[in-house]
Chains A and B, each alone.
Chain A
Amino acid sequence: MKLKEIDRTAMQAWSPAQSHPIYLATGTSAQQLDATFSTSASLEIFELDLSDPSLDMKSCATFPSSHRYHKLIWGPHKMDSKGNVSGVLIAGGENGSIILYDPSKIIAGDEEVVLAQKDKHTGPVRALDVNIFQTNLVASGANESEIYIWDLNNFATPMTPGAKTQPAEDISCIAWNRQVQHILASASPSGRATVWDLRKNEPIIKVSDHSNRMHCSGLAWHPDVATQMVLASEDDRLPVIQMWDLRFASSPLRVLENHARGILAIAWSMADPELLLSCGKDAKILCSNPNTGEVLYELPTNTQWCFDIQWCPRNPAVLSAASFDGRISVYSIMGGSIDGLRQKQVDKLSSSFGNLDPFGTGQPLPPLQIPQQTAQHSIVLPLKKPPKWIRRPVGASFSFGGKLVTFENVRGQPQQGAEQQQRQQVFVSQVVTEKDFLSRSEQLQQAVQSQGFVSYCQRKIDASHTEFEKNVWSFLKVNFEEDSRGKYLELLGYRREDLGKKRIKEEKQEPGFVPSAGGTFNISVSGDIDGLITRALLTGNFESAVDLCLHDNRMADAIILAIAGGQELLAQTQKKYFAKSQSKITRLITAVVMKNWKEIVESCDLKNWREALAAVLTYAKPDEFSALCDLLGARLESEGDSLLQTQACLCYICAGNVEKLVACWTKAQDGSNPLSLQDLIEKVVILRKAVQLTQAMDTNTVGTLLAEKMSQYASLLAAQGSIAAALAFLPDNTNQPNIVQLRDRLCRAQGKPVPGQESSRSPYERQPLSKGRPGPNAGHPQMPRVQTQQYYPHGENPPPPGFIMHGTVNPNTAAPPPPSPGHMHSQLPPYPQPQRPQNGWNDPPALNRVPKKKKMPENFMPPVPITSPIMNPAGDPQSQMLQQQPSAPGPLSSQASFPQPHLVGGQPFHGVQQPLGQAGMPPSFSKPNIEGAPGAPIGNTIQHVQVLPTEKISKKPIPDEHLILKTTFEDLIQRCLSSATDPQTKRKLDDASKRLEFLYDKLREQTLSPTIINGLHSIARSIETRNYSEGLTVHTHIVSTSNFSETSAFMPVLKVVLSQASKLGV
């Protein structure tokens, strides 16, 4: 189809292949006069803009020339691959002149566009060609057998390829060989072609069919085969194209007789050697395959002859033809409709008639209706054979499951015999790019399969790079251990034993507290307060007595009396007491007494989140426990700084709240990275497993976010080819469309058609069940489906551990239709029973060790608040027993149960009182401790609270006065970590955190000299005030004044931390 038109009678030259955009240069033809008979001449450059649908070529420049041209070529001389230099336009003039133009200067509109001019030839220069190997070499031909070889780098004197051929004749064509750079061919209208070898400087072969009717108008070398060339004849009596092979130069290899009259020009496509253009005096433009002679295409032209035809070197589908009717047309050989052409005619018409309202009638012309018939004619068929450049030889496409499908065809022309040998193969390959991810996923699966959660967590703890990571894994691990609440407390820095020891110390310090039972006392009934109280007591009026005591600020008396006065009075008195009391820990005591843990969790200072969590762990009942942990987590997440936000994860782990953990974690981490997703999934899977084992919570619902993460994870696994693993991790009990679809896809990708599915039209309704039916052994390792369900049992009720519920659908959700009769649920063999909860206690330990641990509903009783009467005459047997054994290792004594009045006075508490209560203990265990605490060395306790949870228990504690160093440095590192963005800094900080352990060890061993200790403290102080430069100064001072060996282990990293902090401005 025609793309563009230029109304010129001109020779034409396309810009070289390197050039972008594509230009077409035209120079006024010397041989043809246009309709105006104008003798002026010009050189013009047009741009081929294919994005412009109109037929007009954009004119870039016009240079009025004093020459008219016989031949115009555009060489890529000095062009680089980017086409920055526009090359050289070489023109053959009428009077033996060869002129070199600079196209870029023409485009720029310069006056001086001629690079050089030589009038060496004696007649019109009709033949020009650029050597494609050495683009500075140009061959020219004119009459009198003149052939010159020009070096554009040294244009002054041309060479000759050898002695002139005799008899002297015009040279009408000249062409460099496309394969061998020193071979040149020339041809003349007489029909003779000569092949020159420039190395020998002589003609090596002459080609002629001796018919005397070959009038050579065209000569072209085969683009690929060095020894072949075609000659075209313009003689009407012999309008043929001869294909010659120089190896058999006696007669043409093939003769193409497709034109009815003489051929005026030919052009052989460099992009596809099977495409040869020819135009002739029969007004046809044909595209033939010179290797077969077949006509592939006839361009639709008008009836005019074309005298010049050129392929566009850059765009292989584009060609241009110059015709005697004064027009250069640009065509595509790819066919298509010629609507554009019609549009141009329409436009021309309307412009002739003025605009839409040419006659000023006020009525715009109706749009031109083009008859339907024309439209049919306007379709131009493409080449019969697809050109080489659209035959895609290679391809690689990804498909589901990380598979890559590739094919490649042998390059070149695997024609004839070669084709038989070439097997048309397609390779299906597995692409695995995330090895670490896969191996970690594998480990996780193994842990789940083998139930080796504790060791898995321990490995994770050992491998942790950051304190936080270590914490998280420690918390997760606790889930699978005995006495999980106690262990949580330990992780939070509260060790029961520690406090027990302190208590014992305490007791030793306060001997003889028990009042002697002997002796007499005086019952006073005087008029003072004492007297009034006495009266009230004597009359049994506890209420008044308590009032009186309260009024007199005798709190202890009041409470004791209230206890005697019964529950109601006690409660009232407690309220009044709390109303009056203003001590810092009152709120804690209030919460403990009133069981109002919500209050603590809701209003504690977030810096004390550990303490709040500890309190919840100690006291909260199972039914409120997780809610409280959640609440605390939510506060940390919403109110805390970024560091505290991540700590919220710990609360969610305690709460067993998988969904929140996912949400919180996702906020803090970059989830798109497979390994960070792996980090999350590991935790989630372990936590879910833990929750499932404890049965404390409903583990069935998979929230949106978790489902999304799990399916993301499954997708990643699938993308690495681990289809079975992906299936195993995909949540079961959800009907979210994307998960259902993914499951379906995974099942089928495994080559196991989803059973019970009659039509493949409805993936949404598919019941994605695998063929593999679970055997009686629920943990069968070869059945991923079974594993899946083991991780994520579903259904409305929490299934017992290890019990697998298949295909149970939550009726509350818009679930897929009920399973078909073939559904596996009905076919399941009975499951082994031993893990059912009711049997829990009697189960063999091997099976039940883990599940038993966290069975809080059965064996967990939170410490009963102090409202239970301490001096209850009935007492509980346990406490009575303990009272008789004051020296028992247990941390309580009967003495401690006496209220301590000075408690009210406010001990120097800075934190929250450390509770000693422990999950699973009888109520009486915890209550005395609380009350006994006032005498304990609280200062130490409180500081000990601040020790980071993961501190190794085996190590000696850091002396209290130096703990501040550790907390300050750790805190600083955490702050830096949370604001550092680049991985390198994070690594540095993590490393620093680890190296500072050396410092802490030295602190524990108390081996550091006082100077260094003092220096460290002042660094810590400057960190507190965020004066890092001061800290650095102190640092320098320490380093310069101290023994290198003493400080080298930790001082350099401290400097790193300080400078990072200063840099990050945390």
Chain B
Amino acid sequence: MVSVINTVDTSHEDMIHDAQMDYYGTRLATCSSDRSVKIFDVRNGGQILIADLRGHEGPVWQVAWAHPMYGNILASCSYDRKVIIWKEENGTWEKTHEHSGHDSSVNSVCWAPHEYGLILACGSSDGAISLLTYTGEGQWEVKKINNAHTIGCNAVSWAPAVVPGSLIDQPSGQKPNYIKKFASGGCDNLIKLWREEEDGQWKEEQKLEAHSDWVRDVAWAPSIGLPTSTIASCSQDGRVFIWTCDDASGNMWSPKLLHKFNDVVWHVSWSITANILAVSGGDNKVTLWKESVDGQWVCISDVNKGQGSVSASITEGQQNEQ
């Protein structure tokens, strides 16, 4: 069942481009072509406007919440070529940093897993991806990957923090030897996987080719303790692919077509437990997909204005298996 528990009237004056809940699911951040970013307290079905953040000079495409261990921090990116990092201090939201290192629209922002520190990846229409690392005392270090995607990067998504070769997190105390990775998708129809080398430089690790048009979004699935890595990608060509990699080296990725839609697919989002994929398309359709027992992806729900039913076929299949 998909049932609306809260309808938030954002009072944005133009098209909304992104809406994201914070880590706890109690605050909602939205951004719009009206150049504003808004934050609402949505606890218990309420909708209290906490902040109306002005600072961008163009449509704001995406917002991203940082992990709360770093405080209440929100990043936003805009057509104005800027990335702004907002922070709540003593109950007031203020701009804490502005990154203007891109030459074109910044289309996507994504915070790294909190284990790595405060790192933000930004993908831009100038083809570059920049990585902002908080180094303390208000300082941000910038690394830039130029020509990551010719004529534009549309999406960035970090891999979950998993130590290679171990399925469960290492005991606390010793610092795990994480390998930082993220995926990006762009107007060159490619998905690229990037990894940080030991010298701190970012290197292209993989090119995933299957889409025949712009890759609109990529989403690396959260880790649920399995050795398989999974990435969902969607494209202007209407296709959604699920990429999986089983081998330890992380180099053998195989795509599986989830579905070919009749229109551009804008956004893919994994559930926290990584078993459901929400797909939003240009026909304003939101669908939920789940992998069945036999490995096929099945649409379990059509969501219209936040409402939808969930087909039970998959659940039944699992029960029969018992």
Please state if A427 and B125 are interface contacts (CB–CB under 8 Å): no
A426 within 8 A of B: yes
For residue B174, CB closer than 8 A to chain A, the reply is no
Q: Which residues of B contact A583 (CB under 8 A)?
A: none
Beta-carbon nearest neighbor of A20 in chain B: B212
Distance (Å) between the CB of A96 and the closest chain B CB? Answer: 38
A-binding segment of B134-142, B195-203, B265-273 = B265-273
B10 touching A425, Cβ below 8 Å: yes
Interface locus among B91-99, B241-249, B311-319: B311-319
Interface residue range, chain B: 35 or more
* Cβ contact of A428, chosen from B8, B125, B276, cutoff 8 A: B8
B30 lies within 8 A of chain A by Cβ: yes
Q: Which one, B32, B150, B283, B322, contacts A679 given CB within 8 A? A: B322
Given A332-B151, A429-B2: A404 touches B306 (CB 8 Å cut-off): yes
Chain B residues 1-58 with CB under 8 Å of chain A are: 1-26, 28, 30, 32-33, 42-44, 58
In the complex, which residue of chain B has the Cβ closest to the Cβ of A747? B24
Nearest chain A CB to B39's CB is how many angstroms away? 12
Question: Which of A51, A411, A674, A984 has a CB less than 8 Å from the CB of B150?
Answer: A51
Answer whether residue A1043 sits at the interface, using C-beta atoms and an 8 A cutoff: no
B146 to A339, Cβ gap below 8 A?
yes
B320 within 8 A of A: yes
Which residue of A314, A674, A760 contacts B71 across the interface (Cβ within 8 Å)? A760
> Interface on chain A toward B: helix, strand, loop, or mixed SS?
mixed
Flag whether B159 is at the interface (Cβ < 8 A). Answer: no
Determine if A391 and B312 form an interchain contact, defined as CB atoms under 8 angstroms apart: no
Look across to chain B and name the residue whose beta carbon is closest to the beta carbon of A51.
B188
B281 nearest CB neighbor, chain A only: A394
A425 contacts which chain B residues (CB < 8 A)?
Answer: 7-10
Tell whether, in the assembled complex, residue A708 and residue B68 are in contact, meaning their CB atoms are under 8 Å apart.
Answer: no
State whether B28 touches A405 (Cβ < 8 A). yes
Q: For A764, list chain B residues within 8 Å (CB).
A: 69
- Is there contact, CB below 8 Å, between A433 and B300? yes
Given A398-B271, A424-B11, A433-B300, is A983 in contact with B284 using a C-beta cutoff of 8 Å? Answer: no
Most buried by A among B22, B150, B280, B308: B150
Name B279-316 residues within 8 Å CB distance of A.
279-286, 288, 290, 293, 300-301, 303, 305-308, 310, 312, 314-315
Rounded to whole angstroms, the CA-CA distance of A229 and B107 in the bound complex is 33
**Residues of chain B with a CB closer than 8 A to A748's CB:** 24, 26
- Whether the pair B315, A435 counts as a contact (CB closer than 8 A) is yes
A704 — nearest CB in chain B belongs to which residue?
B168
Convert A408-441 into 0s and 1s, putting 1 for each residue whose CB lies closer than 8 angstroms to a CB of B.
1111000000010001111111111111110000
The smallest beta-carbon distance between B262 and chain A, in angstroms, is 10
Give chain B nearest CB distance to A211 CB in angstroms: 39
Give the shortest distance, in Å, between A406 (CB) and chain B (any CB): 5
Q: Assess the B9–A50 pair: CB atoms within 8 A.
A: no
B contact residues around A379 at 8 Å (CB):
103
Whether a CB of chain A sits under 8 angstroms from the CB of B184 is: no
Tell me whether B286 and A408 are in contact (CB under 8 A).
yes
Q: Nearest-CB distance from B147 to chain A (Å)?
A: 5
With contacts A315-B214, A336-B104, A429-B303 taken as known, whether A716 is within 8 angstroms of B273 at the C-beta atoms is yes
Type the 1/0 row for B69-112, where 1 means its CB is closer than 8 Å to any CB of A. Answer: 11110000001010000000000000000000001110100000
A401 on the B face (CB < 8 A): yes
Question: How far, in Å, is B236 (CB) from chain A's closest CB?
Answer: 8
Q: With a CB–CB cut-off of 8 A, which chain B residues contact A675?
A: 318-319, 322
A-B pair number, CB within 8 angstroms: 305
Q: Does A386 contact B (CB under 8 A)?
A: yes
Q: Which of B1, B3, B266, B279 contacts A392 (CB 8 A)?
A: B266
- Whether B284 and A436, one on each chain, are in contact in the complex, defined by CB atoms closer than 8 angstroms, is no
Q: Quote the shortest CB–CB distance from A699 to chain B (angstroms).
A: 23
A29-54 residues with Cβ-Cβ distance < 8 A to B are 50-53
Residues of chain A within 8 A (CB-CB) of B127 are: 336
Q: Which of B4, B79, B125, B293 has the most CB of A within 10 A?
A: B125
Say which size band chain A's interface belongs to. 35 or more
What is the distance, in angstroms, from B163's C-beta to the closest C-beta of chain A?
Answer: 14
Q: How far is the CA of A398 from the CA of B23 in the complex (A)?
A: 11
A residues within 8 A CB of B284? 393-394, 408-411
8 A Cβ contacts from B59-75 to A: 59, 61, 68-72
| Assembly CA distance A1027 to B130 (angstroms) | 68
- In the bound assembly, the distance between CA atoms of A219 and B278 in angstroms comes to 43
Q: How far is the CA of A724 from the CA of B303 in the complex (A)?
A: 26
Residue pair A334, B105 in contact (C-beta under 8 Å): yes
B213 within 8 A of A: yes
Given contacts A394-B267, A396-B278, A719-B271, contact A336 B126 (CB under 8 A): yes
Within the complex, which residue of A332, A391, A394, A431 is in contact with B310, where a contact is CB–CB below 8 Å?
Answer: A431
Alpha-carbon distance A718/B44, docked complex (angstroms): 16
Q: Which residues of B contact A712 (CB under 8 A)?
A: 225
Measured CB to CB, the closest approach of chain B to A433, in angstroms, equals 5
| Chain B residues with CB under 8 A of A762 | 69
Give the residues in chain B near A408, CB-CB below 8 Å. Answer: 280, 284, 286, 305
Whether B103 and A424, one on each chain, are in contact in the complex, defined by CB atoms closer than 8 angstroms, is no
Judge whether B286 and A715 touch: CB under 8 Å. Answer: no
Cβ–Cβ < 8 Å partners of B59 in chain A: 386, 391
Are B125 and A390 closer than 8 Å at their CB atoms?
A: yes
Interfacial residues of chain A within 313-365, with CB under 8 A of chain B in the complex: 314-315, 317-318, 332, 334-337, 339-340
Most chain B beta-carbon contacts within 10 A, residue among A51, A83, A426, A675: A426
Contact (Cβ within 8 A) A676 B4: no
Once the chains bind, are A424 and B272 in contact (CB under 8 Å)? no
Interface membership of A749, Cβ < 8 A: yes
Please list 24 pairs of residues, one from A and one from B, whose beta carbons are closer than 8 Å in the complex, sorted by A's number. Answer: A317-B125, A317-B151, A317-B187, A334-B126, A335-B81, A339-B147, A390-B61, A394-B281, A398-B272, A403-B5, A405-B19, A406-B19, A408-B280, A424-B13, A424-B14, A424-B15, A429-B308, A431-B288, A433-B288, A719-B273, A737-B172, A760-B72, A761-B71, A983-B321
Q: Which A residues have a C-beta under 8 Å from some C-beta of B?
A: 3, 20, 50-53, 83, 314-315, 317-318, 332, 334-337, 339-340, 379-382, 386, 390-411, 419, 423-437, 465, 672-676, 679, 708, 712, 715-716, 718-719, 737-738, 745, 748-749, 751, 760-764, 814, 983-984, 986-987
Beyond known contacts A20-B213, A386-B105, A764-B69: 7 more, CB 8 A cutoff: A315-B214, A386-B33, A390-B107, A391-B59, A395-B19, A406-B278, A424-B32
Residues of B within 8 A of A (CB): 1-26, 28, 30, 32-33, 42-44, 58-59, 61, 68-72, 79, 81, 103-105, 107, 125-128, 146-147, 149-152, 154, 168-169, 172, 187-190, 207, 212-214, 224-226, 237, 266-267, 269-273, 276, 278-286, 288, 290, 293, 300-301, 303, 305-308, 310, 312, 314-315, 317-322
Lowest 3 A-B CB distances belong to which pairs? A427-B306, A399-B21, A983-B321
